[in-house]
Amino acid sequence: MARTLECFNKIEFDERLGYKLPRKGCLPGAILKHCFSTSDGVIAKHEPLIYKFGFTHCPHTRFYNQKFGYAHDLKAGWEHMLVLYVASETVSTSFVEAALIQRYKGETGCRNIKDGGDNVPFSIDGPLLAKIADEKNKVRDLCAELLTLENQQKHLVKEAKKTKPVKPPKKTRDGRPKGAKAPKGDKKPKATPAPSAEASEVPHKEHCTEIIKFAKDSCADDRDDGYVAPRCPLLSTLSGVNLRKQASQCIPLYLHGDEGTTYKRNIYQDAHHHHPKGNFGKPGTILQASSKASNGCDRGWDMRDAEAAMSKSHVEPLPLPWEREAAFTRLLLKDSAPNGAARFHKPDLWHTFHLGVGKSWVASSLLLLSIVFAGNSIDARFDKMNLEFLSWARAEKEYKFISKVDKFLCGGGGSNEAIESWSKAAVTTLLCLFLEHLCKMHPVLVHADECLRLIEVGTINVNHALRLLYASDCWLERGTALELADGLLQFIRAYCKLAHIHVQKCQARFAMLPKLHSLHEIQFELRRQAALSRWVLNPAVETCSTDEDFVGRCALLTRSVSARTCALRSIQRYLAQINISWG
């Protein structure tokens, strides 16, 4: 604290601010002993106590500031601040902060997550300043290279336009130039018949058959890969390409778009027949008329085996519809050449939930939770829900990425179709927090309805799991990993049961996305690692949100960057950051 006298004048007569300092001239060991003994006394006196350690240049400003002051943090509700050590520079205070955090981090009530001393402004001079300048020059050169690529691309486009061959005039079906008058006479020109749907579907069917046969043959070996034998009939159904099930026995399936690459996506191309936004008809006819669904699309989860499981209470350990890694992650995303390289590494939790399962969960849940608001129509109830959303976001100081919560936010068809209409991961996070708020605000109505109770269980569990995930370090302790896996598993069970309930009602909600399978694989991997070691790798380490952020920044400058160059620049960005931080 550089302005010691000024700061003490502010806290001298404040009941919520206090200080208990070591005697003048104490050695470092005595200072730490004083801080430890004082902290132990305060914690023992007010136990149970929520607390955290930090350093600041002015306690009064840090506690009462309108923007970031502890006194205005309504969620945490901090009541008191105690000053333990004062110095005229920042280095010694940062070491005291780090020592206190290391002593109490992980204890009951301690809210510190980082190790301490992270934001201390050390003086920058000498070799460090030269290193930073060097890295800035490298970044400048990279940006100049990107701009050069953009100019080259523009030049090539101009040259291509100059040498572009002149197209012949378009002709009508009878061979006349477009715009010419038809010949006189009673006979009308005959139109060439378009190819039938059956003829155009033949190559697609053959390709599907080839891929499914490859998956079936590769599944034949019974090697031990850490998964138990499947009880789901999905894999056995794939062998009968010409066999069609009744859609009333299957949960509708449609994909997000990231699940396939190049030609391997063709097996799922006709999945839009199960998509409520397709030309399949009204949502109520999805289950009754499935004859147009192509091969692979009606290979859903067999409901005959699932009814017994999903009829139990959601708190029981329900068997899941899959207990083995899916064929499309183990086999279909590999090159067909001998010893071909795998195109699939691990499920990305950020994509899996925030841009996949979480969107369907939020859209469907908002439509169901609208009944807790009074109103004669769905629009009137969503108007009141929107007012509650705005009030909640203002109180929690959450940034509103969307302007309004209405039925069209949940899907293009309004109240009948839960097809999420946003493509930003932060919106999913924001609405998941709002769902938890709604469930806590109306506990009586929520507990009286089975679907709303399942929404509450799933939302609270997944929010707790994601908070734990993003607040944790690179390595998770075994207990933390199992707690995270339990939260994800409870969410999956609630999602599956809600999907089963709405299939019986012929409502297009809680779609069984393949990303739900990926979410199950993530929690399964957490349990597998926890059984083998005390430390488990945090799944957030393998997400691609940081890389996509950098790709978007490149896209602002140019559209001519190849995938190889973009990957190279992402790696260079990481290396430059590591060099600046620890080089």
Instruction: Report whether pLDDT(468) > 60.
Output: yes
The band of 490, judged by pLDDT with boundaries at 50, 70 and 90, is very high
Give the pLDDT of residue 361: 92
**pTM summary value:** 0.44
For the cut 90, the answer to whether the pLDDT of residue 354 exceeds it is no
- What's the mean pLDDT when you consider all of the chain? 68
Q: Which residues pair with 81 in a beta bridge?
A: 17
Cα of 485 vs its chain's centroid, Å: 16
Token reading at 54: 């930090």
Percent with pLDDT over 70 in the chain: 56
Q: What pLDDT is stored for residue 86 in this prediction?
A: 86
Name the nearest CA neighbour of 493 among 255, 311, 234, 299. 311
DSSP string, 267-332: GGGGGGGGSTTSTT--GGGTTT--TT--TTTT---BHHHHHHHHTS-TTS-PPPS--S--HIIIII
Name every residue whose Cβ is closer than 8 Å to that of residue 11 and which is 6 or more positions away in sequence.
17, 18, 19, 59, 60, 83
Cα–Cα distance, 39 to 22 (Å, whole number): 13
Task: Give the Cα separation of 36 and 103 in Å (integer).
Answer: 8
Q: Mean per-residue pLDDT for 293-299?
A: 30
Q: How far apart are CA 135 and CA 349, in angstroms?
A: 32
- Identify the helix (H) or strand (E) that includes residue 475: strand 475-477
**pLDDT score for 512:** 79
- Chain segment 336-345, per-residue pLDDT in tens: 555 555 555 5
Angle ∠(326,332,338) on CA atoms, nearest 5: 130
Using DSSP, state whether 415 is helix, strand or coil: coil
179-235 tens-digit pLDDT:
555 555 444 444 333 333 333 333 333 433 333 333 334 333 333 333 333 333 333
Residue given tokens 């996070």 in the structure block: 429
Place 486 in a pLDDT band, splitting at 50, 70 and 90.
Answer: very high
Residues 41-99 have pLDDT tens digits of 998 888 888 889 988 878 888 888 877 788 887 777 788 899 998 887 777 888 888 88
Look at residues 455, 451, 450 and name the one whose alpha carbon lies nearest to residue 439: 455
State pLDDT tens for residues 21-49: 888 888 888 888 999 999 999 988 888 88
Task: Check pLDDT > 90 for residue 491.
Answer: yes
Instruction: Please state which of the ranges 348-357, 436-445, 523-532, 545-554 shows the lowest mean pLDDT.
Output: 545-554
Nearest residue to 413 via CA among 355, 466, 376, 363? 363
Write b or e for each residue in 311-340: b if 16 or more Cβ atoms lie within 10 A of its Cβ, otherwise e: eeebeeebbbbbebbbbbbbbbbbeeeeee
Beta bridge partners of 18: 82
Measure the CA angle with vertex 503, ends 497 and 508; round to 5°.
110
**Predicted confidence band at 244 (pLDDT cuts at 50, 70, 90)?**
very low
pLDDT score of 169: 58
What is the C-alpha to C-alpha distance for residues 352 and 499, in angstroms, rounded to an integer?
Answer: 18
- Does 1 have pLDDT greater than 60? no
Mean pLDDT value of segment 323-342: 52
Confidence band for 265, pLDDT divided at 50, 70 and 90: very low
Q: Which residues pair with 508 in a beta bridge?
A: 417
Residue 462 has pLDDT above 90, yes or no: yes
| Plot region of 567 (φ>0 → left; ψ -120 to 50 → alpha; else → beta) | alpha
- Which of the pair, 228 or 410, is modelled with greater confidence? 410
